[in-house]
Chains A and B, each alone.
Chain A
């Protein structure tokens, strides 16, 4: 098979769609006004922002005045969690519930709150990567002010029972925030049906540009500001609106939530072929529940090799992927998500995440399945760890064949 470029890291970021780009372009040049200005150039921009707000609201079953544009998922998470913490503090409630495998935007915000005297419960996840509503209910206390649990995990793609968790929260009068950055456009979201009070979403995961996102805040929640300044976003998020990106987000999210079922059917088929193909390599395992996971997510551990070496070699073959190894996380520890699953360090180091979407083809999958096994074999043949595994566990070392 001829060498080709296969982008299989759509959970990291996506290509901006031509449609979103076309919609955004005029707002860089001809329609460059400030939406706060009174003249028509500004007002036209304000109208464009309003339209995008409606598009984002429609995509998640919210009202337009419940959508606030931000710089992305991290800001939305920070705003939601720090804001709810302040609301709780006023009532003497300084306990927050989250999980051990949240995105760092949530986890590190919670750690910061700990330094301010908040108490955080980090719920463990099952070995399939799922947290239950029952766990949440058992952890709720008198002084719990917020539950923040992601809709779908960014590394292993497992989908959480958000609707049930939200129900439990509301039963006990606790606010519920969810980081839905990986979920929007991949599973259907309805903030009302799913009992969500606050929801973070990001543009660049759904074919909009980087640096744009939104926070949904249910009507009636007086969330304090994170960023103070001008009167933008109805006085709640200062800073001149990123009009081109907001317009692009509106267009992109509309497309992303269209025909999710049909899109997922196609992507899931490719994903399953990819999973089955990779699991044919000896000593590999799928991380996270196979059924309750995003249609495009593959996360496997390949024993005896290290993730970064694997990624670099895949890149030499034209395949862009990611890993939860320490070397790719910038620390000595591998991914907290894989460790939370209960994987030993050495297995977490050898993880590979491939995230495909509707733009990937069967040829892409065939290509990955063609280049991956020989790469694994080569890296194993030079790995003292693989050698040791084979010896101590009496596994046939196929690299010597």
Chain B
């Protein structure tokens, strides 16, 4: 299996690792059974993601996709951030091995989950903005 240099760079030097104590939204996706958990924290000001941090339990691709996803949404308006797709994450990393594509989906979902949480905390129904939170489709999960 071969990882791109971009993936290895984000794995070895992940951007925005950590927690935000007074986060405005926190999203956690994946589960330990499947071997991937991503947790994303966002700080929102005037509809703009001013800060974002993540913690990930998972493989190299899981760390790299969460790292680059935080870079791609930092400083963005919420509606712009929500346009981030797993495909864009993969492209930004110069590709992922086929078996690792699900990690990019998790990164997209972690981002959406954190924004959903933000809307909920504001008393706003997130569904019109974020859509339905997709369930994990792997065979191990009953999520």
Contact = CB atoms under 8 A, between A and B. Distances in A.
Instruction: Using C-beta atoms within 8 Å of the partner chain, give the interface range for chain A.
Output: 20 to 34
Contacts, number: 75
A344 B56 CA distance: 19
A220 interface: no
A382 B140 contact: no
A386 interface: yes
B138 A327 contact: no
A306 B35 contact: yes
Interface in A251-308: 304-308
B33 interface: yes
B138 A332 contact: yes
Contact of A306 (B59, B100, B139): B59
A330 to B, nearest CB: 6
Contacts of B59: 306-309, 325, 327
A86 interface: no
B49 interface: no
Contacts of B140: 332-333, 345
B115 interface: no
Interface string A311-339: 01100100000000111001011100000
A334 B140 CA distance: 11
B138 A384 contact: no
A164 interface: no
A334 to B, nearest CB: 7
A116 B58 CA distance: 39
Contacts of B12: 312-313, 316
Nearest to B61: A327
A346 B32 contact: yes
Contact of A383 (B11, B33, B55, B61): B55
A345 B32 contact: yes
Interface of A: 304-309, 312-313, 316, 325-327, 330, 332-334, 344-346, 349, 382-387
Interface of B: 3, 8, 11-12, 14, 17-18, 28, 32-39, 55-63, 99-100, 138-140
Given A349-B32, A383-B57, A384-B56, 9 more contacts: A327-B60, A327-B100, A332-B34, A332-B140, A334-B35, A349-B35, A382-B55, A383-B56, A385-B37
